[in-house]
Structure 1
């Protein structure tokens, strides 16, 4: 896939938000076994945060050798090339910080939730994609295909990330309604008796 980076955003200076969006698009391409070319024609400047948001997570997830083959950057100005090189030079620091953060925050309950959700999602994406769409909210066909191809090793790796892999689908209004709902006297008594 060939993507004009400038066509995504009218701004000439790209920051972390654009980097995250491009990283997401790159993941979709890679999961679908498509190489990606990012064309920086007419892009005047990028920030260091853009480079970190784009390159660091992709390098962590896919590895530098994979990216050399599957990700091509074209029409980089000298300034942008220098910023990219500087960001790549800081990858060791990024991975050290990431490892420390994962060591500190890895929560076995989160790992269990991720594992269970990913196993169920893989099963539904493979065998019952309509259920995956409506029960789990995985509306993107490419994402369903990618999840359906996950191996157990992939699931374990993702589950160990320390970050929850899915988000609640219910609206804030439901929780606000439940919290604001008038409690009956029996609810109040049960709450009081539970504290003793």
Structure 2
């Protein structure tokens, strides 16, 4: 995807909110196996908070090597480039702060959920990839293979991240309907099969 940054912002100076929006867009592209090019043509100013909101979470989530291949920044003015370099030089501080935050807020129930889910996912990805695809919703073959190769140490490390490793797959309207009336098992299965991927 090729995007002119100026065309999506009416503001002359880009700040943290615009950085978060672009980071969200980048995630969508990466999860759909699309590279992203951000063209900064005619963008005169960005704040350091913009750069940190855009680059720090993406670097944490995908890694610098991945971003070097999948994210391109074009037509950076000297001023914008200087602010970007300054923000990147503070990545160590960002990651140290993130590690401290995660250590303080790690919820043991989240850790348990992650561990159980990852162990089951690894088992299904190794032995029953069809079940991993349809029961757990792991539709990407490369991801199934990567999960199938996880060691117990890898699983423990991921589980301790403090972030839930999976998301609900049911459509929003299912929860609304369940809250308004009793549903029997067949209704739930029909709803799931009708709203599948």
TM tier, shorter chain?
0.5 to 0.7
Residue segments in structure 2 that go unaligned for 5+ positions in a row: 183-197
| Contact map agreement 2:124 2:131 (CA 8 A) in 1 | yes
The residue number in structure 1 matching 2:193 is none
Q: TM-score, normalised to structure 2's length?
A: 0.64
Deviation at 1:139, TM superposition (A): 2.4
- Structure 1: distance between partners of 2:48 and 2:37: 17
| Structure 1 vs Structure 2 CA RMSD | 3.7
Cα distance per residue 1:92-138 (max 9 Å; x no partner): 43223312321221111111110111122222233322212211112
Deviation at 1:161, TM superposition (A): 0.9
The residue number in structure 1 matching 2:41 is 42
Q: Secondary structure at the match of 1:164?
A: coil
Q: TM-score, normalised to structure 1's length?
A: 0.65
Deviation at 1:25, TM superposition (A): 5.0
Residue segments in structure 1 that go unaligned for 5+ positions in a row: 30-35, 183-196
- Structure 2: distance between partners of 1:91 and 1:38: 22
- Structure 2: distance between partners of 1:120 and 1:146: 14
| Contact map agreement 1:51 1:83 (CA 8 A) in 2 | yes
- Count of residues paired in the alignment: 173
Does residue 11 of structure 1 match 2:15? no
Deviation at 1:157, TM superposition (A): 1.9
The residue number in structure 1 matching 2:110 is 110
Q: Secondary structure at the match of 2:8?
A: coil
The residue number in structure 2 matching 1:20 is 24
The residue number in structure 2 matching 1:121 is 121
Q: Secondary structure at the match of 1:18?
A: helix
Larger Rg: 1
- Structure 1: distance between partners of 2:47 and 2:148: 36
- Structure 2: distance between partners of 1:53 and 1:146: 28
Q: Give the ranges of 4+ consecutive aligned residues of structure 1 lying more than 6 Å apart after TM superposition.
A: none
